[in-house]
Homo-oligomer: A and B are copies of this chain.
Amino acid sequence: MPKVVRFHRTGDASVLQLDDLPRPEPGPGDVVIDVAAFGLNRAEIMFREGNYPQYAPELPSTIGYEAAGVVAAVGKDVASVAVGDKVSTVPSFKMGPYWTYGEVALVPEHAVAAYPDRLTPAEATAIWMPYMTVYGALIHQAKVSSGDHVVITAASSSVGVAAIQMVNAVGGITIATTRGANKRDFIRAQGADHVIVTDDENLADRILEITSGKGAEYVFDPVAGPQVAELARAIAYQGTVFVYGRLDPKPTPFPVNYGLSKGLTLKGYSLFEVINFPDIYKRGIAYVTEGLARGDFNPVVDCTFPLEQVADAHRHMESNTQTGKIVVVTSPS
Contact = CB atoms under 8 A, between A and B. Distances in A.
Interface of A: 53-54, 224, 228, 238, 243-246, 251-270, 272-273
A263 B54 CA distance: 11
Contacts of A228: 254
Contacts of A254: 224, 228, 243, 252-254, 266, 268
A258 B251 contact: no
A219 to B, nearest CB: 13
A217 to B, nearest CB: 15
A263 B224 CA distance: 14
Contact of A261 (B53, B238, B243, B263): B53
Contact of A54 (B253, B256, B261, B265): B261
Given A228-B254, A254-B228, A246 B260 contact: yes
Contacts of A245: 260
Contacts of A255: 252
Nearest to A225: B256
19 contacts: A53-B257, A53-B260, A224-B256, A243-B254, A243-B260, A245-B260, A246-B256, A246-B260, A252-B254, A252-B256, A254-B266, A254-B268, A256-B268, A259-B268, A260-B268, A260-B270, A261-B268, A265-B266, A266-B266
Nearest to A268: B259
A260 B244 contact: yes
Nearest to A263: B273
A279 to B, nearest CB: 15
Nearest to A245: B260
A224 B54 CA distance: 26
A273 B237 CA distance: 9
B263 A267 contact: yes
Contacts of A267: 259, 263-266
A54 B258 CA distance: 10
Contacts of A251: 253
A272 B246 CA distance: 32
A254 B242 CA distance: 12
